[in-house]
Amino acid sequence: MTLQNFDILIKVIVFVFAISVHESAHAWMANLRGDPTARMLGRITLNPLKHIDPVGTIVLPVIALYYQVPILGWAKPTPVDPRNFKNHVLDDILTSVVGPVSNFVIATGALVVLVAISHSSDLGRSMIDTIANRSVYQDHLEILANQSNSFLMPAILITYELMFINIILGVFNLIPVPPLDGSHVLRHFLPEAVRRAYDTMGWIALLALVYFGGNFLGRLIYPVVDLFNSVLTRN
C-alpha cells in the first residue's frame, strides 16, 4: 500500500469513527434526559452502519478526498422526541451540544497522545513539529515519506488525523445553521415567528454552507486547529 493510499484509508476510518461517536453521544444524552427513542433504535453504538447518511457520510467525503480537501460531512441524524424531555429547553440543548463536545474530547485525547510522542524521542519531536507546522495536511505526506520506516510515522499520522477531523466536525456542528447542532441551541432564544422561519432554512442552508462557505468555514475551523497545533509545537 502506498503512503497516499494509507493516508486516504486513515481519513475514511477516522471520519467514520468520529461521526459514530458524535451520533452515539446524542443518543446517549437523549436517553439520559428521558427520551429513549434513539436507544430503542440501536443508535447508542459505534457501529457505523447505524449512522451512515448517503450524502453526508458517503458523497461529501468522496468529493473531499477527490479534491484533496479536509473531509467534511455528517451522519444520519439521531432521532429525538423532545416531548419525552422533562426540561424541554435544557434537555434539548444538552442533547445537541454533547455531539460536538464528544468530538473535542477525542481531539483533546489525540493531542495528549501526540504530546507524549513528541517527548518520547528526538525523532518523535521532529515528526510532530513537521506535521503541526504546516497548514495543509496533504503536504505532510511527502515530508514524512522518507521516515516511513519508523513505526512512529503511521502512529503520528493516525493520531493527528484523529485530532484534525474531530476538530473540524466539532466546530462545524456548532455553527447555528439548521439542522446542525448549534441551531438547536440558538432556536430556543428566538421569538416564535423568527424561530419558525429559522427552522425552515433546513438542508438548503446547510448545503449552501458546505458548497459556498469554504472561506467562512476555514476562518472558523483553522484557528481552533492552530490552537491545538500550538500546543504540539510548544517547547
Query: CA torsion angle for 178, 180, 182, 184 (degrees, to 10)?
Result: 60
The reported pLDDT for the residue numbered 147 is: 57
Least confident range from 86-95, 122-131, 156-165: namely 122-131
Q: Say which residues have a Cβ less than 8 Å from residue 205's Cβ, sequence separation at least 6.
A: 177, 178
- Here the cell at position 63 is 468529493
Take residue 181 and report the three cell numbers written for it.
447542532
Domain ranges of the chain: 3-233
Using CA atoms of 10, 1, 63, 155 in order, give the dihedral in degrees to the nearest 10.
Answer: 20
pLDDT band at 142 (very low <50, low <70, confident <90, very high): low
Sign of the CA dihedral running 16, 170, 111, 223: positive
Residue type (1 letter), 29:
M
Are 72 and 60 within 8 A, CB to CB?
yes
- Is 23 assigned a catalytic role? yes
Identify the active-site residue in 23, 142, 161, 192: 23
What is the pTM (predicted TM-score) of this model?
A: 0.90
Q: Are 216 and 222 in contact (CB under 8 A)?
A: no
Biggest CA pair distance of the chain: 61
Pairwise pLDDT comparison (138 vs 156), residue with the higher score:
156
Residue 57 CA, distance from chain mean position: 12
Contact by Cβ (8 Å): 148, 175? no
The stretch 91-120 carries a mean pLDDT of 96
pLDDT at 48: 93
Report the pLDDT value the prediction gives residue 103, as an integer from 0 to 100: 98
| Closest by Cα among 173, 179, 218, 161 to 17 | 161
The chain-wide mean pLDDT, for the chain, equals: 88
Mean pLDDT to the nearest integer, 204-210:
81
- Is the alpha carbon torsion for 199, 204, 210, 213 positive or negative? negative
| CB-based burial, 31-62: b 16+ in 10 Å, e otherwise | bebebebbeeeebbbeebebbebeebbeebbe
Quick: pLDDT tens for 26-80: 999 999 999 999 999 999 999 999 999 998 899 988 888 888 888 888 899 999 9
pLDDT tens, position by position, 80-104: 999 999 999 999 999 999 999 999 9
> What's residue 38's pLDDT?
97
